[in-house]
């Protein structure tokens, strides 16, 4: 059975998890938390040109088809968990138990599966929600390959994004040992995909900038690529994180 798909994409430290949990709280959604962070879409550049979308169509379609059955702790075990129309209270309780067990054993058991225990006969109206901080630069290509999908781009003020990234790195909250401001392979992809080559700095120029300045360029390049590639797509919209903070109930209703 093919389900409707909602894409919630944004940069790291931009409120994506909170907003995704608003969608997850709806009884007719099946939430998948950053399923692409494990490298399943690695053959695709992090910033993908629209003209190459068909080249990656088989990879994208296969990945999306497998989302409902994905039961890794990261993708399926995100807490809190909410009651669902396709899942009894007892099954939800069991899912929570297996998610907690997977987290408790992660130091000595690799990726203990989370049991969704879904009643598939009740899933006809379900929307699969894919939340990502990895694939914002791929969004245009994904929307082109999956014409039935819808997308929300989550934007946070660059100062808030930069401050949160630096704070997270300072407190060693990220798995990567490479600072976001020093990830030059990613900058190379972003510069290649950007349509503003005359305005953009060269890669060697970025090396001369401070970490804050490089993070500002990362914010500009990545969000610009996503917005440019989706601006004519009626199935995509963007929302400011700060607006949801100011009017959470109103903005959440609009998004849903």
| Tens digits of residue pLDDT in 49-96 | 999 999 999 999 999 999 999 999 999 999 999 999 999 999 999 999
- Distance of CA 54 to CAs 39, 61, 69, 90, 181, Å? 20, 11, 25, 43, 31
pLDDT number for residue 1 = 58
pLDDT mean over 92-102 = 93
What is the distance between the alpha carbons of residues 17 and 70, in angstroms, rounded to a whole number? 18
In contact, 150 and 7? CB cutoff 8 Å:
yes
pLDDT mean over 105-130 = 84
* Closest to 19 (Cα-Cα) out of 156, 137, 125: 156
DSSP helix/strand/coil, 241: helix
- Asked whether residue 39 carries a pLDDT value surpassing 90, the answer given is no
In contact, 203 and 188? CB cutoff 8 Å:
yes
- DSSP secondary structure string, 167-224? HHHHTT-SS-SS-GGG-HHHHHHHHHH-S-TTTSPPHHHHTTS-HHHHHHHHHHHHHH
What is the distance between the alpha carbons of residues 208 and 220, in angstroms, rounded to a whole number? 18
- Distance of CA 148 to CAs 48, 123, 135, 145, 248, Å? 20, 17, 18, 9, 27
The count of residues in the chain is 256
187-206 pLDDT tens trace = 999 999 999 999 999 999 99
Beta bridge partners of 10: 154
């Amino acid at each position: 059975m093919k389900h409707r798909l909602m894409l919630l994409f944004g940069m790291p430290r931009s409120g994506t998890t909170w907003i995704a949990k608003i969608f997850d709280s709806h009884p007719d959604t099946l939430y998948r938390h950053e399923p692409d962070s494990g490298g399943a879409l690695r053959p695709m550049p992090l910033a993908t040109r629209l003209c190459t979308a068909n080249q990656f169509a088989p990879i994208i379609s296969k990945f999306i088809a497998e989302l409902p059955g994905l039961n890794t702790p990261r993708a399926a075990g995100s807490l809190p968990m909410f009651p669902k129309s396709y899942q009894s209270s007892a099954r939800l309780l069991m899912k929570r138990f297996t998610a907690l067990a997977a987290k408790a054993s992660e130091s000595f058991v690799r990726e203990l599966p989370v049991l969704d225990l879904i009643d598939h006969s009740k899933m006809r109206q379900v929307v699969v929600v894919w939340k990502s901080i990895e694939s914002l630069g791929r969004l245009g290509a994904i929307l082109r390959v999956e014409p039935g999908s819808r997308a929300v781009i989550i934007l946070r003020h660059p100062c808030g994004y930069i401050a949160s990234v630096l704070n997270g790195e300072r407190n060693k909250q990220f798995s990567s040992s490479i600072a976001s401001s020093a990830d030059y392979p990613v900058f190379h992809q972003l510069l290649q995909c950007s349509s503003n080559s005359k305005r953009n700095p060269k890669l060697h120029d970025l090396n001369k900038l401070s970490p804050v300045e490089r993070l500002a360029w990362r914010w500009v390049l990545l969000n610009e690529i996503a917005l440019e590639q989706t601006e004519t797509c009626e199935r995509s919209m963007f929302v400011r994180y700060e607006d949801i903070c100011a009017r959470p109930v109103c903005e959440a209703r609009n998004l849903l």
